[in-house]
């Protein structure tokens, strides 16, 4: 069964189960990098908010043998668990004074998001674009984000410079940056997976060689969410270059983090570029790819450039 046919069947089945007091509809949602996902939206009478339940994973599970009844059961379970118990008053979002302190920025790829960039305020940065969102926080919906469109900017009677001013102050405050060595990240990951013994059985010299070959650092925010934006936090990379006493390559591992590799003169930029392209193609979800480019921070010039 094709995805489109599956989605229509799910929509009709859920509508039949829930009845006339509910509106069940399909919605194409534009994600990062031009990726479109099919979502199921269930709205109950007199309710103004509902989660979007994306159907791709359910379709894949169905194709692999999960029964259609199980799919429907799980969708209804998600709806019941994730739907707010009361309406959400979003009237505050019309007033700039009430939203300005939570306006933030993130980085996306410019070329892969051309159609989206026509609709949203943004600032070019290398082969990327700085775009803006409202960092929502509330008891009813939890934490989330609302992408800021040109129509929002017009409603608020604001401009690009003002959005950038608030985002530069708010983003580092709400999403503080952190830098961890690749060694620490690997150790923590293995401990989380209960595999810390694998490192312990290495001979000391082997272990030292392993991490000497990885003079890498991972930069993100504490929430690990759109952490690649730390690239444009004021003075962060200048501070890190001072600590390293070195220039460094910047590997865009995803929209959520970047990897820094200190430049000791032995790395081949072409090898790193090929690695980035291969990892993006095989290991990173399409909507989470930041760029296929390799970047470089020059501490004398105090700027990031594309290699």
Mind spelling out the 3-state secondary structure of the chain?
A: CCHHHHHHHHHHHHHHHHCCCEEEEEEEEECHHHCEEEEEEEEECCCCCCCEEECHHHHHHHHCCCCHHHHHHHHHHHHHHHCCCCCCCCHHHHCHHHHHHHEEEEEEECHHHHHHHCCCCEEEECCEEEEEEEEEEECCCEEEEEECCHHHHHHHCCCHHHHHHHHHHHHHHHCCEEEEEHHHHHHHHHHHCCCCHHHHCCCHHHHHHHHHCCCEEEEEECCCCCHHHHHHCCCHHHHHHHHHCCCEEEEEEECCEEEEEECCCCCCHHHHHHHHHHHHHHCCCHHHCCCCCCEEEECCCCEEEEC
Asked if the model's pLDDT at residue 186 lies above 80, the reply is no
Tell me the pTM: 0.83
Asked if the model's pLDDT at residue 27 lies above 80, the reply is yes
At residue 192, the pLDDT reads: 62
Structure tokens at 293: 């480019």
At residue 274, the pLDDT reads: 95
At residue 267, the pLDDT reads: 84
The closest of 127, 131, 288 to 220, measured between CA atoms, is: 288
Which pLDDT band, with edges at 50, 70 and 90, does 194 fall under?
A: low
Asked if the model's pLDDT at residue 233 lies above 60, the reply is yes
At residue 304, the pLDDT reads: 96
At residue 188, the pLDDT reads: 58
């Amino acid at each position: 069964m094709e995805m489109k046919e599956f989605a229509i069947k799910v929509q009709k089945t859920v509508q039949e189960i829930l009845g006339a007091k509910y509106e069940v509809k399909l919605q194409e949602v534009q994600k990062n990098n031009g990726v479109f996902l099919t979502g199921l939206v269930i709205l109950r009478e007199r309710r103004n908010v509902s989660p979007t339940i994306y159907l791709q994973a359910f379709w894949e599970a169905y194709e692999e043998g999960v029964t259609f009844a199980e799919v429907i059961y799980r969708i209804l379970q998600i709806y019941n668990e994730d739907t707010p118990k009361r309406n959400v008053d979003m009237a505050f979002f019309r007033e700039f004074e009430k939203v300005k302190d939570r306006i933030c920025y993130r980085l996306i790829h410019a070329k892969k998001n051309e159609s989206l960039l026509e609709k949203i305020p943004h600032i070019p940065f290398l082969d990327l674009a700085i775009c803006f969102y409202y960092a929502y926080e509330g008891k009813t919906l939890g934490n989330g984000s609302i992408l800021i469109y040109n129509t929002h900017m017009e409603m608020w009677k604001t401009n690009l410079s003002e959005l950038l001013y608030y985002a530069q102050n708010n983003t580092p405050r709400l999403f503080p940056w952190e830098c961890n060595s690749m060694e620490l990240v690997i150790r923590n990951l293995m401990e989380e997976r209960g595999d810390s013994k694998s490192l312990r059985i290495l001979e000391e010299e082997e272990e030292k060689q392993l991490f000497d070959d990885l003079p890498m650092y991972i930069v993100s925010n504490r929430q690990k969410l759109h952490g690649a934006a730390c690239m444009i936090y004021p003075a962060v990379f200048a501070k890190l270059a001072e600590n390293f006493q070195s220039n460094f390559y910047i590997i865009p591992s995803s929209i959520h983090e970047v990897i820094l590799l200190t430049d000791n003169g032995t790395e081949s930029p072409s090898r790193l570029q090929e690695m980035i392209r291969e990892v993006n193609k095989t290991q990173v979800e399409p909507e989470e790819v930041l760029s296929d480019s390799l970047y470089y921070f020059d501490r004398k010039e105090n700027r990031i450039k594309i290699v």
